[in-house]
Chains A and B, each alone.
Chain A
Amino acid sequence: MGRAELENWRETAESGNQLQRRDFIKAVTMAAAAVGLSSAAAMKVVEAASKGLKPSVIWLHFQECTGCTESLLRTSHPALSTLILDLVSLDYHETLSAAAGHQAEENLLATMEAHEGAYVCIVEGAIPTKDDGIYCKIAGKTALSLVKEVADRAGAVIAIGSCASFGGIPAADPNPTGAKGAPQVLEGKTVVTIPGCPANPYNLLGTVLQFVALGTLPALDEKGRPKFAYGRTIHEHCPRRAHFDAGRFAQEFGDEGHRQGYCLYKLGCKGPATHANCSTQHFGEVPGAWPIGIGHPCVGCTEQSLAFRVPIHTTVDIERPMPPDTYPPISADQGSVSAVASGVAGLVGGGLIGAGWAASKKLGGGDGAEGSSDKEE
């Protein structure tokens, strides 16, 4: 959709609908609620938007499939239109912008100058570093130099998707292009990472909304992931957890257990080691639309150590194993009698007694010292 068309749509909507403002507030409030911001914060967003104080956003694309952008396009709380028209000023986005070529690049430079130190830089896709990064070039510049240049003057840097967070698919072995994520390339800079393949768009929305409303970034973990979304593993809030705890597993795709919706751990579910919120924040805005929900084990797409690295059907260790998962019986069998040990004990014990018994024969009767007569009993 070109920018002109978007503007048209908005004018039409505004003029045509008396309840436009109310809808707008409702939309923003819903969006804020969806990502845990209070209604007070939502009002701040509205105010900021009304004053035209929309933060500038520069969205960079590198080695990516554009899945994260596509994912973002399929949101409705708020709708992308609301987001990019009312809440932020999306000044550079290679997929969505109407402009192209030199015009787009001029826009990029102009935005960086005009909003230096204040714009949000969102990175989508991995950055190749091998051979000075020639494997991805836009407008004659390598991705490597582009990201450094843009991130350097940004107010906040957000890496969306696994590719931008840690390299993703391009970085899978043997990683011929030396693909890396934004945090690895932008050493020293705080980069919010929102891994996932695709990332859940609401995680991005939540982060952006907080920045818009409060000017701050959410609490991040040691990998830069917002804790509100990546603070727990899938296993820790999975709807199939009770089956795991009770030992009910699908053993094969399509078997009875699979049909009953049992735990997919044995099919290789990476949920126990994957930090994400897919189990509560589903995809495509359809409840239940997430991998495990539709019967496929989680592949751990948010985790660098798992995604595109560990085979999909290989099982993983449980992170943070708590709480207990089985019930011991009233009296559990403990200890056992080892056959070897009993054998050894019997042999030695019996041997000593037997030897003593046999040796007593040599003592003979009478009281001779050496060479005593062998008097058997």
Chain B
Amino acid sequence: MSGHSVVHTPVGGRIMTGTMKVLLTIVALSGIVVAIRFLQGIAAVSNLSNGYPWGVWIAIDVVVGTAIGCGGFAVGILVYILNKGKYHPLVRPAVLTSLLGYGLAVIAVTIDLGRYWGLPKVPIFVWRWTHSPQLEVALCVTAYVMVLLIEISPAAFEKWKDSKNPTLRSLSASGMRIMDKILLWVLALGLLLPAMHQSSLGTMMLLPGPKVHPLWFTPWLPFLFLVNCIMIGYAVVVLEANFSSRAFGRPSETPMLASLSKVAAWVALFWGVFRLGEVAIAGELGLIATGKGMFFLAEVVLVLLAAAILFSEKNRNNPTWQVRAALIMLVGGALHRVNTYLIAFDPGANYHYFPSVPELLITFGIIAAEVAIYIAVVKTFPILGGHGPGPARSKA
């Protein structure tokens, strides 16, 4: 808890490994689909229709994708607000994951938007702003991506400090100086913005009210989405830290992650209980027995199960169960979002939607891109940190 410095080091090693090649192949294939989408329109590559105008590109790539990008936010609360310095080594990789999650979500939005060339008008045409919840999400996410870039820049500046290139060296020097002054204020922004837009993502699904299933249509949606994103953020950080250690041959940080898992367990418990509670108070528990009730049950059961696993100290300190619980928490949390945006949305019994294969390919491509860029950046820049440099043996 008292201040301590974290040493970040690049993992080093060959970037173009077998794994990378597989990932880049997926990205390339999805790139072809993206090209077709832009040349021929959305219908050429997807099953989006007039009944279901939003599909997996929004529900998964954007809504779940940004939640996965809430690692920086979730860890930031612990480190900067609650002053838990011991989680400090997790910050930079979490910020990188966040930057990738949000950045690729922005790309997914651009692919999904029918008239994407109008996107720059959104932040510029201030006099046309409405009170639409989606506007707030759009502006906030744009601002947050810039904040994340600033937050991750110290990694670049550190790398370039000893660069052979004099431009990069001076850039690094002036960058570090600026960061000294503004980083705190930017970080505060980085804790405000996600709270704003993640809750607004929940508010967004209040507008189609009559078409949203009562189990998901609640004025508590913004709050549910906010807590949900923090929970997913912790889960992602645990997963990413464990797999990074394993893949890059760095010492694992099980005790620290165990502590984090406990925090995550409490948040998950709170979310699960709150979710059940608000449905009970609204008198809708009976709906669980009907059609879509099992999806509600799944999202609550998975989250509570994850919490239950992590409340055991033995499980928390066992990386296997740490990871499994985080996986369950991630799936459960993500399920809530997919439920809200896709499953609970009912335009009428005659409409049916399931993503097409090209549509799915774009989603896979975005995920693959995220992983690929993460690996490349982590090997090149000082992102992963810890208690001293570990052996630079990479398995990924």
Contacts and interface: CB of A to CB of B under 8 A. Distances in A.
Report if A and B touch in the complex (beta carbons < 8 A): yes
Interface of A: 331-338, 340-342, 344-345, 348, 353, 356-357, 359-370, 372, 375-377
Given A357-B324, A369-B252, A340 B357 contact: yes
A225 to B, nearest CB: 40
B352 A337 contact: yes
Contacts of A340: 357
A366 to B, nearest CB: 7
B254 A334 contact: no
Give the residue among B51, B317, B350, B359 with the most A Cβ atoms within 10 A.
B350
B255 A338 contact: no
Contact of B321 (A353, A362, A377): A377
Contact of B243 (A331, A359, A375): A359
A334 B347 CA distance: 11
B360 A344 contact: yes
A377 B52 contact: no
B393 interface: yes
A331 B350 contact: yes
B350 A334 contact: yes
B380 interface: no
Q: Which 10 A-B pairs have the closest CB atoms?
A: A363-B319, A360-B323, A337-B354, A331-B350, A335-B352, A367-B254, A365-B318, A360-B320, A367-B252, A333-B350
Nearest to B51: A334
Interface in B39-65: 47, 49-52
A361 B323 CA distance: 9
Contact of A361 (B51, B252, B320): B320
Given A335-B49, A360-B319, A363-B319, A341 B249 contact: no
B391 A369 contact: yes
B320 A338 contact: no
Given A356-B327, A357-B327, A359-B243, A335 B47 contact: yes
B332 to A, nearest CB: 12
Nearest to B320: A360
B246 A363 contact: yes
Contact of A370 (B49, B50, B249, B348): B249
Interface size class of B (residues with CB under 8 A): 35 or more
Given A331-B350, A369-B391, A377-B318, 12 more contacts: A331-B348, A332-B350, A333-B352, A335-B49, A335-B52, A341-B360, A345-B354, A348-B360, A365-B318, A368-B252, A369-B250, A376-B320
11 contacts: A334-B351, A336-B352, A341-B355, A341-B357, A348-B360, A360-B321, A363-B246, A363-B320, A367-B253, A375-B320, A377-B320
B314 to A, nearest CB: 9
A356 B319 contact: no
B129 interface: no
A367 B320 contact: no
A340 to B, nearest CB: 6
A362 B327 contact: no
Nearest to B327: A356
Nearest to B243: A359
Given A331-B348, A335-B47, A345-B360, A363 B252 contact: yes
A364 B357 contact: no
B331 interface: yes
A345 B50 CA distance: 22
Given A335-B47, A366-B254, A341 B319 contact: no
Given A334-B49, A370-B393, A344 B357 contact: yes
Contacts of A345: 354-355, 360
Contacts of A366: 254, 319
A362 B259 CA distance: 21
Contacts of A331: 348-350
A367 B255 contact: yes
A375 B49 CA distance: 50
Contacts of B324: 357, 360
A354 to B, nearest CB: 10
Interface of B: 47, 49-52, 239, 242-243, 245-246, 249-255, 317-324, 327, 331, 348-357, 359-360, 364, 390-391, 393
Contact of B239 (A333, A334, A356, A370): A356
A292 B367 CA distance: 64
A376 B246 CA distance: 16
A360 B235 CA distance: 14
Contacts of B253: 367
B51 A335 contact: yes
Nearest to B314: A365
Nearest to A366: B254
A367 B251 contact: yes
A365 B354 contact: no
Best-buried of A331, A334, A336, A377 by chain B (most CB within 10 Å): A334
A356 B52 contact: no
Question: Quick one: which of A331, A332, A363, A375 has the most chain B CB within 10 A?
Answer: A363
Nearest to A356: B327
A344 B393 CA distance: 34
A347 to B, nearest CB: 10
B239 to A, nearest CB: 7
Contacts of A333: 350, 352
A348 B323 contact: no
A360 B327 contact: yes
B17 to A, nearest CB: 16
A342 B354 CA distance: 7
Contacts of A344: 357, 360
A203 to B, nearest CB: 47
A143 B88 CA distance: 102
Q: Which of A335, A340, A359, A375 has the most CB of B within 10 A?
A: A335
A353 B335 CA distance: 13
A372 B250 CA distance: 12
A342 B360 CA distance: 10
Contact of A369 (B251, B255, B348): B251
A334 B352 contact: yes
B68 to A, nearest CB: 13
Contacts of B350: 331-334
Given A331-B350, A369-B391, A356 B323 contact: yes
Q: With a 10 A CB-CB cut-off, give which of B254, B352, B354 has the most chain A CB atoms.
A: B354
A356 B246 CA distance: 13
A363 B323 contact: yes
Contacts of A338: 47, 354, 356-357
Contacts of B243: 359
Contact of B245 (A337, A360, A369, A377): A369
Contacts of A370: 249, 391, 393
Most buried by B among A357, A362, A365: A365
Nearest to A360: B323
A316 B314 CA distance: 77
A348 B50 CA distance: 27
A200 B364 CA distance: 67
A360 B352 CA distance: 37
B391 A348 contact: no
